[in-house]
Structures are given as structure tokens and as C-alpha cells.
Amino acid sequence: MTACRPPARDDPDQWQSNILADIQQGKIPQTRIDEAVRRILTLKFELGLFDQPCVKDASRPCVDADAAETAVQAGRDATLQSARESITLLKNTDNILPLATSTRVLVTGPNADSMVGQLGGWSVSWQGVSTSGHDCCEGPPGQIPPGTTVVQGIQNVDPSVTFAASRDIAVADADSADVIVAVVGELAYAEGFGDDPAPALPPDQKNLLAALEATGKPVIVVVVAGRPLGLGASNEQHASAILMAWQGGTETGQAVADVVFGAVNPSGKLPVSWPTDADRRAPFGPAGDSNGVASSPVGDQPKFFDQFPSTSAGTGSDYNPLFSFGFGLSYTTFSVDGLAVSSPTGSDGTVTATFSVTNTGGRDGTDVVPVFVHQQTSQVVVPPHRLLGFARVELEPGEARTVNVDFPLSRLAVTPGDIDSSAAPEIQSGVYTVEVPTQPQPNDLFPESSPPLQTNFTAR
């Protein structure tokens, strides 16, 4: 790929010339520049950047190759742990996961052996490492950090795994496999170039999943991307399992393998809502006109957990995600009970929610339990459920633990008046309800079949 300059609006030379002009005209004081430079230089000294050999002897290289290699390798253990904790299990039909190490596994997909997709934007450069597919702003060729791709991670567990580099080879090899692991998703991107109002798998990847599912073998879909993607309605329905691996860094591949084979029990929860990906909007009539939770195409309606209640009545106009904010499965099961709430004292008080979490399954696991607040009446429109905190609880089988989640009452403050109000935020007096989900469903943290634990407190 030939080198190119970024768009004029992003040209660093233009930034610098404009800033120099502003300083000369007195629009930016010299003291402000000194303050910024002082912070940067202080950090560089603290990091030891001025301890390099070339600082004292210009004939020596500025980078100690051995020290650089040590620095690159030093964070891999922490990166692996971070990737393990963030992987989110969204679907697991008939508990197909975790796989036994004796399972004959076929691995395929464009992100199965790609470090570019795992790293994402702002890795080495703004729009990611080299070969991310952009016409500028990628890292230099060859500067891809060492790591473990998904196929390498799975081969570390099972050296006999089959890797198919194309759809045709994967379909042909499916007969000899017990399970297919299809790794799909995106390459690296950052803001600007990566903006997309309806992010979805490209047609060739949707077709790959459809072809694999048509073989009749169980398909485990691993998504390596920085955001939820539309997988195609039929692909979502027919996949035996769906794992969201995110763009978790250099060790994403090993983390995926650890989860797939059960060395790690997944504990991730979605930090965003995963939208539905219907082939089309529901037609006019009983199935669509007033069906606010009908599945809709990606980008058709907003899908965010704390969206305000509205008077909309069209198809898919309600909060109708495929997977809700805060959802994520485990290889074990949990229960929560015994919710109690302390009443705050004064407007600067703290609310404490206390409850018990029990591992009701057969293996060690970690549960992430969110705590929400519902405001029964309000002078301004507020989200029906506001996240105020969460507890991360590691439990052995049969173990129970009482946990406390504290939050300041000030987090419930709202700005009175309309959207242009200039008044200071204030805490409205009245009754608030603390809510803790009990048995979340994929598209609903508060299903009618398993209502949340609820306890009221009063703000005065």
C-alpha cells in the first residue's frame, strides 16, 4: 500500500501552523503551551525515555533492542487475563460449550488467523496496524506485535485441529469434523473511518456462516470486532453458540481457546446492546403496527438500554435487542436473593444495596451482578432503569456470598426543566426502587417470568 497523507482536516502540519498563529496573536497564552509540554516531558522522564543510550552518546542507537523486546513481551500475561474476562458468551444451545479436548475441531473464517482484527484501532497507529484496509493512517509494515491468533490458540490445546483457509475448503472438510469454529468480524478501525450506522458482517462472511450451517455440523460463531455486528437473521438462529471476543488485543486467540475448551469459564457481560438483524421490517398489520418488540433490521431503530420511554407505536420501536445490555452466559448457574437497601441521609448520602449471590451450578464461576434504580415518578423524563453499580463475585460450586454495592445519591441527580435548562442538577425527592436482575433472558434483563429483586428507599 502506498503511503498517503491524512485528509487536510487531520493534517498535523496544519494543526501546528494554526496553533503557532494563535500563540502569536495572543489567542493561546504561552503559559498554556508550557503547561502542556511540562506534563508530557514529566511523563517521558518518569517512563525513562531519556535514559536511552543515544541521549548521552549520539553515535549509539536510541533503542535497546533487548529492552524493547522485554517491554513488548511484558504485558502479554495481563493482556491474556483481560481478554479472558471480557469474552462474552451470548448463545450456547444444548450446552455445546465447553468442548472436550477430544472433539474434532475445524477452524475457519477470515479472522481465525488474523492479528490485525484482534488489535483494532489505535494499535500502533490511529486506524490500526498495517494491512487494516485503509488508505491512510495505518502503522508501518512489519510493526505487528507478537501474539496468539484464534487458530494458534486452539492448536495450543489441540495440535490436530484442522484449519480451512477458505469457504470451499471448510465445507469440504466439515464431514471429518465434530464441530466448526467460525471466526468472523472486522479488521482494525477507529473513529471516522470506522463509523457505521448499521454495522454488520459483509455478505461474504454471512454467506460463509450460512454454508457452514448448511453442512449440518454444529457451528460456533466467534465474533472478533469492536462492536456488535449483524450476523444475519438465519445465521443467528442456526448457530449453536455465539462468542463475542471483541478486539481484545494480542492474546485474544488464546483467550478464545481457553473459553472454548473450558479452561476458563466466561464471565463477560455486554457493555452495549446487540441489535436484532431481521431481513426486513415487520409488515403493516397485527405483526407490525403495534409490535414494539418486533425484530428489525440493523440500524432501523435505536437500540440502547437506557433510552427514554416514548409514545412511538411502530414495529420495533421499543427496546428490542437480540442480546440486552448486561447479558452474558456462564458454564455454571447463579442465583441472587435477600436484597436489602440502606436509606441515605441527606442529599450527599450513600445508598448501599446488600444481597447474596450463590453458585448453583457444578463448576467455579464468576458472576457480574448489576444494580439498577427505577424512579417511580419524576418531573423530567428519565430512563426506566439506571445502572448505579455492579458486583463481580467469584464463587465455587455451592458457595454463597453476601456483597454490598454502594453508590452516592448524587448519581440520581437530574437537570430540572427542559433540555436547554441551565439549572444545576438536583436530586428529586420521592421513592426510588433498587432492582437486581434474577434470571436475565437474552433480550430482557427483567423478564416477567423472573422479575428482579426490588426494594424501595426514599430520597428527602
| CA dist., res. 262 & res. 163, Å (int) | 20
Mean pLDDT to the nearest integer, 261-270: 98
User: pLDDT class for 9, splitting at 50, 70, 90?
Assistant: low
CA 254 to chain CA centroid, nearest Å: 18
| pLDDT for res 283 | 78
61 pLDDT more than 50: yes
The region of weakest confidence among 188-197, 229-238, 341-350 is 341-350
- Count other C-beta atoms under 10 Å from residue 449's C-beta: 8
Q: Are strands 365-375 and 430-436 parallel, antiparallel or unpaired?
A: antiparallel
Residue 240 lies in a domain: yes
| CA dist., res. 388 & res. 407, Å (int) | 6
Q: In Å, how far are 55, 144, 301 from 62, measured between CA atoms? A: 7, 20, 53
* Domain C-terminal end among 260, 286, 321: 260
Q: In Å, how far are 134, 264, 410 from 361, measured between CA atoms? A: 47, 15, 38
Are residues 93 and 55 part of one domain? no
Residue 439 lies in a domain: yes
- 110-150 per-position pLDDT tens digit: 999 999 989 999 988 899 999 888 888 888 888 888 899 99
Which residues, including other chains, have CB under 8 Å from residue 295's CB and lie 6 or more apart? 233, 276, 277, 278, 282, 316, 320, 322
- List the one residue out of 319, 321, 332, 259 whose CA is nearest residue 88: 259
User: pLDDT class for 6, splitting at 50, 70, 90?
Assistant: low
Are residues 209 and 88 part of one domain? yes
Task: Name the 3-class secondary structure at 17.
Answer: helix
Are residues 49 and 115 part of one domain? no
Residue 440 lies in a domain: yes
Of 4 and 132, which is predicted with more confidence?
132
User: pLDDT class for 1, splitting at 50, 70, 90?
Assistant: very low
| pLDDT for res 302 | 65
| pLDDT for res 335 | 97
Are residues 175 and 47 part of one domain? no
Percent of the chain with pLDDT over 90: 65
371 pLDDT more than 90: yes
**Mean predicted lDDT score pLDDT of the chain:** 90
CB 252 within 8 A of CB 246: yes
Are residues 444 and 416 part of one domain? yes
Which DSSP string corresponds to 13-70?
Answer: HHHHHHHHHHHHTTSS-HHHHHHHHHHHHHHHHHTTGGGSHHHH-TTS-SS-HHHHHH
Are residues 238 and 97 part of one domain? yes
CB 253 within 8 A of CB 181: no
324 pLDDT more than 70: yes
* Domain C-terminal end among 240, 260, 280: 260
Are residues 120 and 173 part of one domain? yes
Residue 277 lies in a domain: no
| pLDDT for res 415 | 86
**pTM for the whole structure:** 0.87
Residue 268 lies in a domain: no
Are residues 446 and 388 part of one domain? yes
Burial environment of residue 159 by CB neighbours within 10 A (0 to 12, 13 to 18, 19 or more): exposed
* Domain C-terminal end among 208, 243, 260: 260
User: What share of residues in the chain are helix, strand, coil (percent, to 5)?
Assistant: 25, 20, 50
User: pLDDT class for 279, splitting at 50, 70, 90?
Assistant: confident
10 pLDDT more than 60: no
- Structural domain of 97: 78-260
Residue 288 lies in a domain: no
CB 355 within 8 A of CB 453: yes
Strands across the sheet containing 400-408: 334-341, 350-359, 400-408
- Count other C-beta atoms under 10 Å from residue 201's C-beta: 24
Are residues 85 and 51 part of one domain? no
- 158-216 per-position pLDDT tens digit: 999 999 999 999 999 999 999 999 999 999 999 999 999 899 999 999 999 999 999 99
The region of weakest confidence among 20-24, 28-32, 342-346, 426-430 is 342-346
Number of domains in the chain: 3
Are residues 227 and 98 part of one domain? yes
Longest Cα pair distance anywhere in the chain, in angstroms?
A: 79
Residue 182 lies in a domain: yes
| pLDDT for res 55 | 80
CATH at 406: 2.60.40.10
Mean pLDDT to the nearest integer, 59-68: 76
Percent of the chain with pLDDT over 70: 96
- 400-453 per-position pLDDT tens digit: 999 999 999 999 998 887 667 778 888 999 999 999 999 999 999 999 999 999
User: pLDDT class for 2, splitting at 50, 70, 90?
Assistant: very low
- 445-456 per-position pLDDT tens digit: 999 999 999 999
**Stretch (H or E) spanning 335:** strand 334-341
Mean pLDDT to the nearest integer, 309-338: 88
312 pLDDT more than 80: no
Are residues 99 and 243 part of one domain? yes
Residue 211 lies in a domain: yes
Are residues 229 and 111 part of one domain? yes
| CA dist., res. 126 & res. 48, Å (int) | 24
| CA dist., res. 425 & res. 448, Å (int) | 33
- Count other C-beta atoms under 10 Å from residue 96's C-beta: 15
